[in-house]
Amino acid sequence: MSPWLIYTGLTVAYIIILVLYFLRRSKTHEHELSQFLATAKDQLESHKQETNALAQEKVNQALEVVKKVQKVAQEFEKNAQAEYDQIIEDAKTEKKEILSQAKTEIAELYANADEELEAYKAERMREIERNLVKLVISITQKVVDVSLKPSDHEKIITDALEEVKKSRSRL
């Protein structure tokens, strides 16, 4: 055999051994790669679930905040309406009190005006009576040409006034 054949045979054997080694090695790598990909896929799925869970938790928290805000808004609206109603009711009550007070004051003013008018009338009547007494005394002196005593004058005048008052009350 020639050395060339031996070298060729050995080279072929080495190539076969290398092919077998690389095939085996590639199967190991393929298996390792499959495991790595499976692990990565599992980790990705786990991360996806965790992210979804966190996102859902954030959504739930946001919903709770929205519900709280809505509840606070409703309570605020209810309180505002109650305050508005109370203000309206207070205003109505105050209006009634003011009207009642005004009516009372007007009634008092009318009563005071009536009293003042009556007092004024009474004062004028007394003044008229005094003037009438003076007039009657003066006329009587001129007609009778005699002077009566003041008490006689007074009696005559008083009787005349009483008679006038009685005739007035009959009307």
| Alpha carbon 148 to its chain's center | 86
Q: How confident is the model at residue 97 (pLDDT cuts 50, 70, 90)?
A: very high
Task: Examine the pLDDT at 156 and tell me if it is beyond 80.
Answer: no
Residue 87 CA to residue 167 CA, distance in Å, equals 62
Residue 161: how many other CB atoms lie within 10 Å = 16
Q: What is the pLDDT of residue 73?
A: 92
Q: Residue 15, SS3?
A: helix
Residue 88 CA to residue 70 CA, distance in Å, equals 26
> What is the rounded average pLDDT of the residues 97-118?
91
Q: What is the pLDDT of residue 146?
A: 58
3-state helix, strand, coil in the chain (%, to 5): 95, 0, 5
Collect all residues with Cβ–Cβ distance below 8 Å to 1 and sequence separation of at least 6: none
CA torsion sign for 150, 152, 156, 158 is positive
Q: How confident is the model at residue 16 (pLDDT cuts 50, 70, 90)?
A: confident
Amino acid type, 117? L
pLDDT tens digits for range 40-89: 888 899 999 999 999 999 999 999 999 999 999 999 999 999 999 999 99
**pTM as predicted:** 0.39
Residue 166 CA to residue 75 CA, distance in Å, equals 78
Beta strands (DSSP E) in the chain are none
Domain positions in the chain: 3-170
Residue position matching structure tokens 């090695």 = 25
pLDDT tens digits for range 117-152: 988 888 888 888 777 777 777 776 666 655 667 777
> Between 170 and 89, where is the model more confident?
89
